Amino acid sequence: MSKRKIHATDIFNLISLTDPQWDKHSRKFAFVQTTMHEEDNEYRSAVYIGDLEGKTIPFTTGKGRATSPRWSPDGSKLAFVSNRNEKSQIYVMPANGGEAEQVTFCKNGARGPVWSPCGTKILFSTSVEGVQDLQQDEEEKKKKKHPEPLVVEKMRYKSDAKGFLDEKNDHLALLDLKTKEISLLTDGDRDYGTPAWSPDGKSIAFVTNLEENPDVSLVSDVYVMDLETKEKKKITNSNGFYSALTFSPDGQYLGFLGHEKEFQSATLSRVWVTKLESGETHCLSENLDVEIGDVAIGDFHSGNVNPGLMWTEDSEGFYFLMSDQGGTGIYFGSLDGAMYPIHLPDEHVYAVSMLTGTHEAIVGVSNSTDPGELYHFDLKSQTRNQLTNVNESWKNEVELCKAEPIQFKAKDGWELHGWIMKPAGFEEGKKYPTILEVHGGPHAMYANTYFHEFQTLTAQGFVVLFTNPRGSHGYGQHFVDAVRGDYGGKDYLDVMSAMDYALESFDFIDENKLGITGGSYGGFMTNWVVGHTNRFKAAVTQRSISNWLSFYGVSDIGYYFSEWEVQGNMEDKVEKLWEHSPIKYVSNIQTPLLILHGEKDYRCPVEQAEQLFIALKKQGKTTKLVRFPEANHELSRSGDLALRIHRLNHVKNWFVEYLQKA
């Protein structure tokens, strides 16, 4: 039986499995299953419990979202976060079933539960202005509030994730499960995050920026707090960014991931370990030229969790995720600095939970033709067993196109890497229109993972070409840093080299029907490309940057990102910002250009799209602007479902009109 072609709306048929958490007592695992529903335009997430025989059952039910399942130390209970009663709060439920008990009633919600080693307390995060925000005031909820002006005194006053920032900050709080009392552990006009609890229960670790002026001192330092005295001990030196904290089982070491900003935002994340007794901190992976963690770009899974260092029972070693050459896998490291790969597949390991005592893992794995399933992986024997098949029936119904890896050289001899996807129903001897995709970041990585946008385009009869130009992660420190100060330079040549290589190597590409698209940095590159060549007959720029001068003041990261990445500023390097702005070259653009942008995008604000659209329209160019209401920078990955479908269809239809019908 022939399979049908994929549509944009097939996203409603897909199921996402994330955040596996393995209980060493029962050897069962909890995970989050997310489905997308067209009828009410809603994401729904539920916590499921699975075993190694492949049986899974729902642990939570109903509409809304249940996330962050965390086993109590003895495995008898699960804590999780649910928004079943409007705001997200923490619930606790017996592992063998029963009624879920809501244990937090915070005014601004609660998230990120971390059990104490004794199982009687839960550490969590909440947004507060003061202690009064720890509990909801039912009467206050009913009061209507008049609009008030937003008074701004800081450069960092908005966030793409949160919108305009108010007086609230992210703080850490402690819940006593016996008394139900909640105490605030941190305070002040600072944010605290990624908490971890020491094995003896006497201290916690977290990251924060306690510098005098956090607008200028852009760092996240690691601290350890004594829970009895509330005394904080600073671990790092206010010169970098750190996250994903974990204590070794014997409590002697604190591990974390991050870097000292040697190359600003283009610095590889590394493995760090502090010996708590002496305070000595060492980078253990400085000789390992790979990015620690998962930096793969996709448009399907959301809510992935970086587990940080997963320590062995003897506290002498640890496992961790890493990204290299378009794949993400598992490495092993030891306190003496030895690092070596355990599992480096041509696929995307996007989630992992380990029982390090037996060297086993539950992993979430995706590839170009598989949205993702969970597997049991024995690291010693290198064998794995599939535990779920939630997307199997859909995969059997549709024609999926495989991404085939390509290796080629840039004009200056640099080795480059990418993939090409033939269209659905491919026939030898035919020529097909081709779309070149450019990822955002730029410090991210196209990878061996499922990409719904790519499958939607190949189903329409397009070849899809995608690559990792210099500036991408996955190819070492020199490669990722090479784009800084050179936006539109060698990275542009890399993108064009990919197109040249494909035309030389694949006779099924119609050289007269080429298109290009990308989002964020990929939108910048799309704008730049059509301003510097007319070889593309259609282009779609998404959540893009067109003008670094205005971006400097309107983006939530503009005032430092522009200086770090473009290496221009508003003091004495204004010309540098203008030189790298695609809008400077707008009079050169002849390619029909579709401009897509979210109204609430504070990362690359919508004025970037407005400027480009008006400049093109004024000059009589072929263009269209599509604005997505209430959508931020994450529209294509986790935004409103109806708008995600509209976005995909606009992209597809533009290329159909100007490549297939032309």
**Distance separating alpha carbons of residues 167 and 190, to the nearest angstrom:** 10
Q: Would you report the helix, strand and coil content of the chain in percent, each value rounded to 5?
A: 20, 35, 45
Q: Which of 541, 544, 539 is nearest to 513 (CA)?
A: 539
- Report residue 141's pLDDT band, with 50, 70 and 90 as the boundaries: low
Residues with Cβ within 8 Å of residue 295, at least 6 apart in sequence? 323, 328, 443, 444, 445, 473, 474
- pLDDT value at residue 661: 85
Question: Which tokens belong to 240?
Answer: 């970098």
Q: What is the pLDDT of residues 383-419, one digit of tens each?
A: 999 999 999 999 999 999 999 999 999 999 999 999 9
- Report residue 132's pLDDT band, with 50, 70 and 90 as the boundaries: low
Mean pLDDT along residues 486-492: 98
Inform me whether the pLDDT recorded for 293 exceeds 70: yes
Angle (deg, nearest 10), helices 452-459 and 641-655: 40
Give the CA radius of gyration of the chain: 25
Inform me whether the pLDDT recorded for 142 exceeds 80: no
- pLDDT value at residue 594: 98
- pLDDT value at residue 1: 65
Q: Classify burial at 184, counting beta carbons within 10 Å of its beta carbon; exposed 0-12, middle 13-18, buried 19 or more.
A: middle
Q: Which of 643, 403, 455, 440 is nearest to 541 (CA)?
A: 440
Inform me whether the pLDDT recorded for 644 exceeds 90: yes
Q: Which SS3 state, helix, strand or coil, does residue 527 take?
A: helix
Residue pair 16/371 in contact by the 8 Å Cβ criterion: yes
Residue pair 66/80 in contact by the 8 Å Cβ criterion: yes
Cα angle for residues 536, 489, 422 (degrees, 5° grid): 40
Inform me whether the pLDDT recorded for 74 exceeds 60: yes
Number of H helices, E strands in the chain: 12, 39
Q: Which of 515, 548, 366, 376 is nearest to 437 (CA)?
A: 515
Mean pLDDT along residues 181-201: 95
Inform me whether the pLDDT recorded for 138 exceeds 60: no
Mean pLDDT along residues 67-76: 97
Mean pLDDT along residues 73-87: 94
Residues with Cβ within 8 Å of residue 606, at least 6 apart in sequence? 597, 598, 599, 627
Q: Which of 294, 284, 296 is nearest to 352 (CA)?
A: 294
Find the helix or strand (DSSP H, E) in which 220 lies: none
Domains and CATH numbers, the chain: 404-660 (3.40.50.1820)
Q: What is the pLDDT of residues 146-185, one digit of tens each?
A: 888 989 989 988 999 888 887 789 999 999 999 999 999 9
Q: Which of 125, 150, 126 is nearest to 136 (CA)?
A: 126
* Amino acid (one-letter) located at 164: F
- pLDDT value at residue 145: 75
Mean pLDDT along residues 512-535: 98
Cα angle for residues 17, 460, 622 (degrees, 5° grid): 110
**Distance separating alpha carbons of residues 130 and 642, to the nearest angstrom:** 37
Q: What is the pLDDT of residues 411-456, one digit of tens each?
A: 999 999 999 999 999 999 999 999 999 999 999 999 999 999 999 9
**Distance separating alpha carbons of residues 402 and 367, to the nearest angstrom:** 9
For the annotated catalytic residues, the residue numbers are 520, 633
DSSP lists the bridge partners of residue 196 as 205
- Report residue 137's pLDDT band, with 50, 70 and 90 as the boundaries: low
